[in-house]
């Protein structure tokens, strides 16, 4: 799946408080790994997310091979947000 880096960050910023912790807990992974998935760069903690960023407009194009974290995040967005075109990219 491809999405712009800008849209990926937008999704992260619209998540309710505590969502990163909930995603990490549900998927049994380190919280920093989830943050890295959404564009954080602290690879000294957590794992590198399975994403690839290519240069381009809007922060570049992010190729996500496993959308499990993103799908779970989208399910946590307020209903009106999850119905928008954020995820379509």
Q: Is 88 a member of any domain? A: no
Cβ proximity of 64 and 1 under 8 Å: yes
Neighbours of 15 (CB within 10 A): 18
Enclosing domain of residue 75: 2-82
Put simply, whether the predicted model's pTM sits higher than 0.85 gets the answer: no
87 domain-assigned: no
Indicate the number of domains in the chain. Answer: 1
Q: Does 46 fall in a domain?
A: yes
Please give the pLDDT value at position 16. 94
Within-domain flag for 43: yes
Q: What percent of the chain has pLDDT over 90?
A: 44
Any domain includes 14: yes
Distance, CA of 5 to CA of 10 (rounded, Å)? 9
Residue 89 domain-assigned (yes or no):
no
* pLDDT digits 0-9 by tens, 43-86: 555 555 566 667 788 888 888 888 999 999 999 997 755 555 55
């Amino acid at each position: 799946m491809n999405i712009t880096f800008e849209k990926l960050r937008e999704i992260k910023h619209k998540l309710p408080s505590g969502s990163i912790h909930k995603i990490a807990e549900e998927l049994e992974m380190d919280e920093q790994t989830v943050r890295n998935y959404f564009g954080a760069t602290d690879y000294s903690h957590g794992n590198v997310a399975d994403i690839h960023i290519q240069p381009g407009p809007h922060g570049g194009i992010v190729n996500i091979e496993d959308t499990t974290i993103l799908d779970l995040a989208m399910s946590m967005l307020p209903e009106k947000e999850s119905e928008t075109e954020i995820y379509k990219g």
